[in-house]
Amino acid sequence: MCKTPRDNKVDHYNQLYTTQDFKSWLKFFFSHPGIENLIDLFYQHCSPETMIMNDIWDSPAWHSMGLFITTAENLTFSFFIDWFNPFMNKTTGKMISCGAIIMFCLNLPYHLHHKPQNTFFARITSLPHKLSVTTITTLLDPIIDQLHHFHHGVIVHTYCYPEGIIKCIGILVLIGDLPAIRKALGFARIASFHHFCSFCSLGRSDIESLDVDLWRPQIGLEVIAAAEEWKQVLTKKRCTELFKRNNMQWSSLHQLSYQDPVKHTVLGIMHNWLEGILQYHVCVK
């Protein structure tokens, strides 16, 4: 795979990272008594006829998955990615970064989504630096390969079906802050070339524009097409040209053809609330 201009500082040595097998985790997840009954409640859910959304199950994005979400035994997950400082250094001191990739089962009632026993901890990246756009794709490849395979069905041994039952897995939501979203989906950095936003096509020359009518949303199919075009290029020079023109390169997540890289991407607010506003009020006010 070609490298972009920003990837010239990629480390040229091997690094280890921790991981766990998704199929093994599914067996652990479904070994808990009652978990299948809780998920069965989801298939009985009826969205209100009004525009009011009480849960992600009522959202247009959820229903965009079509028959997949209404078919019994199919499971839908969110895909969260972010970096954090494991040593909790002060921002003025030495910065160390560790990455985490976590998946949550959205078929469970909301109050159970983030309980440790219901959380699949897919990856912890190695220290001390954040990953580049290229290295994160290498890291995601084994995860996405499994998810792509599981979307077509895999036999899972559960508490109610110890002999095994076929489960199909889908990823609906990608959650992360802006740097994580850009790296995970192959978008260029905010300071790169022509475009600065992962959600709209506003150019850098209009970065201060407050006219909402000019904020044309990016289209998922166009994003994937640009990524596919970049992937097929064989020379580094041509890769650089396409990256400057489209601000987009290939990402493993684009293998999930049912997942829209624009509409199914959610900006995480963790840093804003836990490390921004709330930290200011606690420490200063």
Same domain, 153 and 232: no
Range 224-229, long-range pairs (CB < 8 A, 24+ positions): 224/254, 224/257, 224/261, 227/186, 227/251, 227/254, 228/254
- Residue 35 included in any domain: yes
pTM of this prediction exceeds 0.85: no
Question: Within its chain, how far is the Cα of 86 from the centroid?
Answer: 21
Q: Are 103 and 124 found together in one domain?
A: yes
Statement to judge: residues 74 and 156 lie in one domain = yes
C-beta of residue 252 within 8 angstroms of C-beta of residue 13: no
d(CA 81, CA 36): 27
User: Are residues 211 and 119 located together in one domain of the fold?
Assistant: no
Give residue 34's pLDDT: 92
pLDDT tens across 87-144, in order? 665 554 566 777 788 999 999 988 888 888 899 988 877 666 667 777 788 788 888 9
5, part of any domain: no
Express each pLDDT in 188-247 by its tens digit: 777 665 777 778 877 777 777 888 887 888 888 988 998 898 888 878 888 888 887 778
154 & 279 share domain: yes
Say yes or no: 148 and 266 in one domain: yes
Please report how the helices 178-185 and 133-150 are oriented relative to each other, as an axis angle in degrees rounded to 10: 70
Q: Which residues pair with 123 in a beta bridge?
A: 19, 101
Task: Work out the widest C-alpha separation in the chain, in whole angstroms.
Answer: 60
Tell me, yes or no, whether 9 lies in a domain.
no
Q: How confident is the model at residue 166 (pLDDT cuts 50, 70, 90)?
A: very high
The whole domain housing 218 covers: 187-250
- What is the spatial distance between Cα 172 and Cα 258, in angstroms, rounded to a whole number? 8
Domain total of the chain: 2
Say if strands 74-84 and 18-19 run parallel, antiparallel, or are unpaired.
Answer: unpaired
Q: What is d(CA 122, CA 99) in angstroms, rounded to the nearest whole number?
A: 11
Same domain, 101 and 164: yes
**Do 38 and 86 belong to one domain?**
yes
